[in-house]
Structures are given as structure tokens and as C-alpha cells.
Amino acid sequence: MQGSDLIDLGGQVALVTGAGQNAGRATALELARHNAGGIAVNDYVAERAEAVAAEVRALGVPALAVPFDVTDLEAARAANTAITRELGAATVLVNNAGMAGPTASIRPTQNFWEEDPAHWQRYLGTNLYGVYNCSYALIPNMVEAKRGRIVTIVSDSGRVGEAKMAVYASAKAGAQGFMRSIAKELGRYNVTCNSVSLSALMPDMSEEQLAEVTASDHAKAMLSRYTIRRYGKSSDVAALVSFLCSNAAEWITGQTYPLNGGYAPSA
């Protein structure tokens, strides 16, 4: 494949966090299809991580399940050690783990000043500190190899603001700022750092389930804010992330790419 594939990872080993399902899973599989040297599949749930790792192996690419909580720096470091031992040093990192952490859902609820401060950490831990931790663990690999890619999945809530999601939005905005800053630190080592900003992304489901969801009045009202009137798909994310991780994107860094169907926030 190397030499004929525009989206070519050049044999690099990649770690994809939160890759046990949905966009993370799709990204891990897409990277495997484009000359990855190996894929480390992270998820909080070990069974999900191993299931996706098995799918990667079925594509003929070495894979390792590395279940850990991204909010735990020492766990991220231990995973890096395991990846290096089993697959080789990872020089591609996709910070996909997000939302409200592994055990809570995210939806607009209360104004910021009405929230319980005890809930803040579940947004900050995964969406900001998780990005710090995994980057901190893997960047030395990239500096030593003098090549690498970091792509972080962020949110349009952090790019344009979203009512009743202030802490989540600030965590995502912080991750974008972090990526822009480390891009300046890592450029001399041929390491690029970019963000992909998402609006509404649907979890993987059957066409029948998706049709039922999109037929609701709530969905129609939401999709009226999108130029391309559908929800985002896992494959949309996987395609852009794979490009940014590839050799074709070697002169792109410090950027945030909106992947949102032309989403325009309400006034």
C-alpha cells in the first residue's frame, strides 16, 4: 500500500483512546487500513478494547488492547510501556476519549451557577487532563523518533460556546489551546498537533434506528442548524483523523478543523 495511498501512515504505531466503540472504533480501523505499523486500542471497558483489537488483527495489522482510564497518568505511562514492548513505540496519538467520562452521559442541564461543583471534574478529567496525560506519556516517543502526529477530538461547544455546557465547553476549548501550544513546541521534531471539532455525532446504530431518531421533532429542529442536514457519522471522523495522521498532512499543524456539516449555532 505504501507509495500508492494518499493517506499513508508510513508504518507508524498509533494509540487511539476511547476506541472501543463509535468514532474511536472507526478511527482505529481506518488507521489500520492505511499502513499503520500497529494499533493500540484503548477503552475504559476491557472487553470493548479487545473486541476492536481483534477487528484490527483481522485486517492483518498488529493490535493490542490497552484498557485504562485516561485520567490516570500512571496508567497512561504503563500503557505506553506495554505498547512499546508489544508493537513498538507509538508515534501517533488520537485523543478521542471524551464526553463526561466513561460512566456518565452528557446533555445540557443547568446553568453554570446552578451546577454542583462536584460534577466539574468528570468533564475536566477526561476531556482536558486525559489529553494531557496521554500526550505526556507518548510525546517522548515522537521526540526521539523525530516524527509523529497528535490529533485531539474536541467540540463545537468549545469553539463557539454552548449554553448549559460551560464546563464541558471550557475543557474542550482548553484542549484546543493545548494542541496549538504543543504544536509550537514539537514542530522542530516533525510532530504535528491538530484538533477536530465535532457537532452532533450519532453513535453507531442501524439505519432503522437512525431513521426513527431523525424523524423526531427534536432532531428536525436541531438539524435545521446544519447545512448538510444529517448527524455526523463515525466514518466522517475516521476519514479526517486518518488524513491528519498521514504523511499527506505533514505541513498542517496547530489547527482546529470543524467537522460539523456546516453547523451554525443559534443566536
Contacts of 1 by beta carbon, 8 Å cutoff, 6+ apart? 8, 34, 35
Residue of 203, 191, 190, 194 lying closest to 235 (CA atoms)? 203
For 80, 162, 170, 223, 241, the CA distances from 234, given in Å and listed in that order, are: 26, 22, 24, 17, 11
Answer yes or no: 168 catalytic: yes
Check 123, 129, 132, 168 and give the catalytic one.
168
Strand order in the sheet with 191-198: 63-65, 38-41, 13-16, 90-95, 148-155, 191-198, 256-259
Report how far residue 104's alpha carbon sits from residue 112's, in angstroms, rounded to the nearest whole number: 18
Cell of 66: 490497552
- H-helix segments, the chain: 22-32, 46-58, 73-86, 120-124, 130-145, 156-160, 166-186, 207-214, 217-223, 234-245
Cell 523525530 locates to 146
CA torsion 55-60-23-153 (nearest 10°) is 140
Residues tagged active-site = 168
